[in-house]
Chain A
Amino acid sequence: MRFLNLRLQNFRNIEFAELGLDVPRTFLVGANGQGKSNLLEALGLVTALRSFRTQNLSVLTKKDAGGYALVHQVDHEVFGATEVEMHGGRNGRKLLVDDEAITRLGDFIGRFPVVTLSSADFQLLRGSPAERRRFLDLTLSTIDPEYFDALRRYHRGIAERNRLLKSRSSTAEFDAFEIEIAPHAVFLYRKRKEAVAHLQMVLREIYCGLADADEGPEVTFRPNVDLAEASDFAAMLAASRKRDEIMGATQKGPHRDDLGLAVQVGGAKEYASDGQQRGLCVALRIAQAALFRDVLKIAPVLLVDDVLGELDPHRKAGFWQACPPDLQMIATGTELPENASDWSVWRVSNGRVGRP
């Protein structure tokens, strides 16, 4: 897909702005804090109503305004020219696709895929396993509505079981919930395993373009429980009741899965340098985009939030090579990129957008 146009009202520091995007490459240039990232954030909401910067969507409304409104116009492989309209804030959330109200998030997630690269991606390497699970869950939810459904049911089931653990419940109640949790758990396990293998394959290719040939990236699935059969998983839960009761919560399951991310240098796994870590994060995002394109048959849009400045010159050059040329790209930076003539440039200053 491609963005054609974006209109924003009362979003972050932007009172009103309109941005023509009907080109392959757009660059938003401006000093820090002027609103460049806010524009990318607004574009990014179109995939899953999630911001790459915050989990608290109430901060999106401009100070002193009741709510924000966004209108994305996109050209889409399946839906053709489409308008996505979003309202959020004090007056409640509303989502319209071509004037039709969307009431269930599951009907929306992944229809308009974008991938955002930002310095927050560093958390994928340095942050807690929860960060990596979130990456995996968002990736899979985008390409597979069944995954999103299973994930919701699994977490709901675990929450119910955790309550059972605290209330001296009968064996029959535990049985009833565990037997229903198990198929979702092994579904998540299988899908995660598959996706990580796919990701690893794509990642290798991309990373080659980014760095020296003797460096190899490695993304591995680290399941908390290595069980692929629902009956085995249910039996594991049943056997863990005593222990879980003492701990006060379900200890084992996909809610404790993790991803291993590493760079191998000359065949040996080494502690990756800062540059290598940044390169790995970038490659991981591009791999995510490639995965979306391969599975959804819809080209995602790449949103690049000021990450190029952090790459060394060698990797910077490699970045452009590694980006699939058929993906629309919208990037931000404090200064113009090298071949500025390849880009449609907007200057962002104090919440206003204009041509330089």
Chain B
Amino acid sequence: MTPAYEKLLLQLKALPGLGYRSAERIAMHLLVERRDGLTDLIESLEAAKAAVGRCANCGNIAESELCGVCQDERRDGSKVCVVEHVPDLIAIERSSAWKGRYHVLHGKLSPIHGVGPEQLNFTSLQRRIQTGGVSEFVLALSNDIEGQATCHYIQEELVGSHPIEVTRIGFGLPSGGGVTFADSVTLRSALESRRAYH
């Protein structure tokens, strides 16, 4: 194969969820089968790269300094739902069971995967805690040992003695499962039945 093709293939294969076979199929599709669509794709990638960043407050994707949720005056800023990933936030938004704001950690503590506190979006979380104005954290992290340990870390290390109520969802979530794959009904009941931490 040609060097340029090989390079593209390697880039595609590095994307999450893509193996060699699917990377190959996509490369062929882009370069041979649907070549005329390629320009549009490149343009939207560049436009997205220029426009989309992380919300300075919560870590959600945003096209300005603050994301849509953080800009929305009708949202209750004193209640913050902490999630691992942006798709979790989107899933909860879709269930329309949450009127507060969010904080996206971009992961959970997992030494095995090299994720420690420095790798997570804790700095801006700490800032939100210290600035005041937050009265409740709802921790919507996955129901596994890493998600639970992350909950514990936030409670003990970050919230500490600040007068903030910390609750966990988890009731009704499939064991070992995350937020993204729970259906709306389950998510809604999980949020409503959140319980005080310890």
Contact = CB atoms under 8 A, between A and B. Distances in A.
B33 interface: no
Interface in B106-150: 109-112, 116-117, 144-146, 148-150
Contacts of A175: 152-153, 156
Given A153-B145, A180-B145, A163 B112 contact: yes
A253 to B, nearest CB: 14
A87 to B, nearest CB: 20
Contact of B111 (A153, A167, A179, A184): A167
Interface residues of A, number: 23
Nearest to A183: B148
Nearest to B143: A153
Given A172-B153, A176-B153, A160 B116 contact: no
Contacts, number: 59
B146 A160 contact: yes
B157 interface: yes
A170 interface: yes
B2 interface: no
Contacts of A176: 109, 149-150, 152-153, 156-157
A230 to B, nearest CB: 11
B148 A173 contact: no
B175 A179 contact: no
A342 interface: no
Contact of B145 (A106, A163, A177): A177
B117 A160 contact: no
B152 to A, nearest CB: 4
Contacts of B111: 160-161, 163-164, 167, 169, 173, 177
Contacts of A163: 111-112
B57 to A, nearest CB: 24
Given A167-B111, A173-B111, A149 B175 contact: yes
Given A160-B145, A177-B145, 6 more contacts: A153-B144, A157-B149, A160-B110, A169-B116, A172-B157, A180-B148
16 contacts: A152-B176, A157-B149, A159-B112, A160-B149, A161-B111, A167-B116, A173-B111, A173-B117, A175-B152, A176-B152, A176-B153, A176-B156, A176-B157, A179-B152, A180-B148, A184-B145
